[in-house]
Chains A and B, each alone.
Chain A
Amino acid sequence: MIAARLWRAAWPPIVVVLGALLFWELAVWFFAVPEYLLPSPRRIGRAMIDDRDRLLAASGRTALATGLGFVGSAAIGIVAGSVLSLVPLARRGVYPLALLLQMVPLVAIAPMLVIWFGYGLPSVAASACIVSLFPVVAGTLDGLQSVDPGLQEIFRIHGAGRVRAWWSLGLPWSLPSVFTGLRIAAGLAVIGAIVGEFTGGFGGDAAPLGGVITSALKQNRTPTVFAAITLAAGLGFVLFGIVNGIGWALLRRWHASAR
């Protein structure tokens, strides 16, 4: 049943991806595009296999930083969104400033993260967290602000305090929009981690995917660059899938978005 549903959802994008890869392969062959400009998918696949140990280890490091950053942004985002919802003054004062998280270019502050948190995992995870935070805050706040007034009245009638109403009504009601924010945050967390790795990741054997990309670029190993990019995209896809699966499990019984 679940396998059938998954297959029904998966086959159209699989067909599109396979078609695009075929087109790419043929175009590179037909126009004789040099490898340093655009390697063919087959060449990228070979680079993945040849460099698998290094790429796998790099993927693990990036996955760890992405995961930590994402969990951090999920926790901070849900708490911050809830506080902003519960305290109107904080909402009016702080929420417009939270937009700064969206406006400030990460590339500009990434070097500062290295100064604040040091090289390696801490600054990379912080980068992933900062980039993916705003959608979670916005999703949580939007959900909490749109709770059905009739249901709020039921809680008021029965003497529920604000924290109890938040826990038993606001939070479950907000779950669909919280998960919308988390799904967006999943992709952004990978981007944040890679950008963080450009400036704050270790190089050499301890390099994460961002480090592999920068060193391969310097050495003109474009197939390796594309292999690392493919793996980074794969990480984002896996994280998105995990978030989607958790959301589906929590919402499928009662919310139309998960049916």
Chain B
Amino acid sequence: MSGPVAEVRDLRRTFRGERGEVEAVGGVDLQLSPGTITVLIGPTGCGKSTVLRIIGGLDAPTSGEVVRDPTVPIGFCFQEPRLLPWRSVRRNVALPLELAGRSRTEALAAADARLAMVGLSDAADRLPAQLSGGMRMRAAVARALVSNPRLLLLDEPFGALDEVTRFRLDEELAAIVRGTGITVLLVTHSISEAVFLGDEVVVMSPRPARIIERFQIPFPTRDAALRGDPEFAVMQTRVLDVLRQGLEATP
């Protein structure tokens, strides 16, 4: 068993604004084991996205430590698809490889493979504005995967979508990621998404973000049938109870 892909120790982050200092993250310890999906769940604005951004190198901690091999390729997906509106879907997905200096032919071939994986081959030549919200997020996921990342950081990627689309994309994401050996850190405020996708669900307190409980999720398969499993409902309730306790404990 190899070590964690990334590890954070006593992570703290304080923002300085016009109204003084705001502590966003108040001491978080986390290990992302290879090939697992770890989910950070907590109330909106609690600081969980800040943890993800620090792990991904998009922000720096005020104190604490992030241990990660800087050569490990990372894929990012945010709540907004962040696609270039003038580029076709195919060229958007190929963008990371083009920026890495790969030839356009090679980049487009890799993009086509990822688009097939997310079921967007038919829309490859369309512009983002010609896609539905769900299709745009699929394209963003394909772009995050095109560089063959070993660590995938997903910041509420399906948060702006309707429930049915979100369920379908969760199922597709589980099918894509599981078995590929990619390590995933997902930030969400959806309990059903967290329990459906996560191997470990980490419940965060309201700001400043602290871990109040960790759940190991035992389900061996993650497909649509899981949503009807009574154990799935029980697990959701347990997570909900902890989230509620966290909110009630906040003054």
Is the contact region of chain A dominated by helix, strand, or loop, or is it mixed? helix
CB distance B84 to A150 under 8 Å?
A: no
* A 148-194 contacts with B by CB, 8 A: 148, 150-151, 153-160, 164, 168-169, 172
Cα(A76)–Cα(B84), bound, Å: 27
CB distance B99 to A160 under 8 Å?
A: yes
Which chain B positions have C-beta within 8 A of A150?
78, 80, 82
Q: Tell whether A154 pairs with B82 under 8 Å between CB atoms, given A164-B99, A253-B127.
A: yes
Q: Mark B74-108, 1 if CB is under 8 A from A, else 0.
A: 10101010101110000000011011100000000
Which chain B positions have C-beta within 8 A of A155?
99
Count residues of A near B (Cβ-Cβ below 8 Å): 18
Which chain B positions have C-beta within 8 A of A158?
95-96, 99-100, 147
- Extra contacts besides A157-B76, A158-B147, A168-B95 (14): CB < 8 Å: A150-B78, A150-B82, A153-B82, A154-B76, A158-B99, A158-B100, A159-B100, A160-B99, A168-B99, A172-B84, A253-B86, A253-B127, A254-B86, A255-B86
Among A153, A156, A254, point to the contact of B85 (Cβ < 8 A): A254
Total of A-B residue pairs, C-beta within 8 Å: 40
Cα(A253)–Cα(B86), bound, Å: 7
Cα(A198)–Cα(B171), bound, Å: 73
Chain A residue nearest to B127 (CB atoms) is A254
Which chain B positions have C-beta within 8 A of A255?
85-86
Residues of B bordering A, CB below 8 Å: 56, 58, 74, 76, 78, 80, 82, 84-86, 95-96, 98-100, 127, 129, 147
Chain A residue nearest to B81 (CB atoms) is A150
Q: Mark A231-259, 1 if CB is under 8 A from B, else 0.
A: 00000000000000000000001110000
For residue B163, give the distance in angstroms from its CB to the closest CB of chain A. Answer: 24
**21 A-B contacts (beta carbon < 8 Å):** A148-B82, A150-B82, A153-B58, A153-B82, A154-B82, A154-B95, A155-B99, A157-B56, A157-B74, A158-B96, A158-B99, A158-B100, A160-B99, A168-B99, A172-B84, A172-B86, A253-B86, A253-B127, A254-B86, A254-B127, A255-B85
Cα(A117)–Cα(B19), bound, Å: 57
Chain B residue nearest to A251 (CB atoms) is B86
Cα(A154)–Cα(B99), bound, Å: 10
Chain B residue nearest to A150 (CB atoms) is B82
